[in-house]
Structure 1
Amino acid sequence: MTHHPDHSKVSIIKRLNRIEGQIGGIKNMIIDERPYDEVIVQLNSSRSALQKISQILLEAHADHTFRDAIASGQTEKELESLRRAIKQYSKMI
């Protein structure tokens, strides 16, 4: 991905694995009929974790876009790719 440690594939996979565990826990909370407020807390936690992954990927994409634009000289193409990513990211927040 990029040179930043949070942007590594291993780091992102670890985050996704934690989210998978959270989702499984939420499913069990529903099965066990846990109080709704407790379930909602866990849902918000999972949503925040997904948001963080989106932020990390957007940052990595911006880094790569900048480097690729300089290397290739195709700044408009690279900027359009970044614009699309930002547009998708903004839909999450």
Structure 2
Amino acid sequence: MCDHQLPENSGKEPVKPRTDEEKTAVLNRLKRIEGQVRGIQKMVENDRYCVDILVQISAINKAINKVGYSLMERHTHHCVADAIKKGEGEEAIDELMKVVQQFSK
């Protein structure tokens, strides 16, 4: 694993498990994105104009970023805040900063 990549599974558990509503909202967004990706595949198969495909890719990038920022916000409010309260803030902040850097590349 490169030092700029995060492990796929840190082995950590969330401080506050996601509610069913939170899971449903994130999963619905991801399913919508999955549908958009399938739509782009069909656009390529149908030899659609490059700019039309690029516009759809841009929309997917925005949608996936929105999901990521939502998860990052939740992580900060729950996991990082809890670590700070326990006196373990430095490690949690370092971890958050690594993921922010990775996310913004």
TM-score, scaled relative to structure 1: 0.79
Gap runs ≥5 in structure 1: none
- 1:67 is displaced (CA, Å) by 2.6
Residue 68 of structure 1: aligned partner: 83
Residue 41 of structure 1: aligned partner: 55
1:82 to 89, 93, 96: 96
Q: Aligned pair count?
A: 87
Higher helix share: 1
Q: Percent of counterpart pairs with the same letter?
A: 30
Larger RCO (CA within 8 A; separation ≥ 6): 2
Gap runs ≥5 in structure 2: 1-13
Q: CA RMSD in A?
A: 2.1
SS of 2:72 mapped into structure 1 = helix
TM-score, scaled relative to structure 2: 0.71
Tell whether 2:39 aligns with 1:25: yes
Runs of 4+ in 1 over 6 A off after TM superposition: none
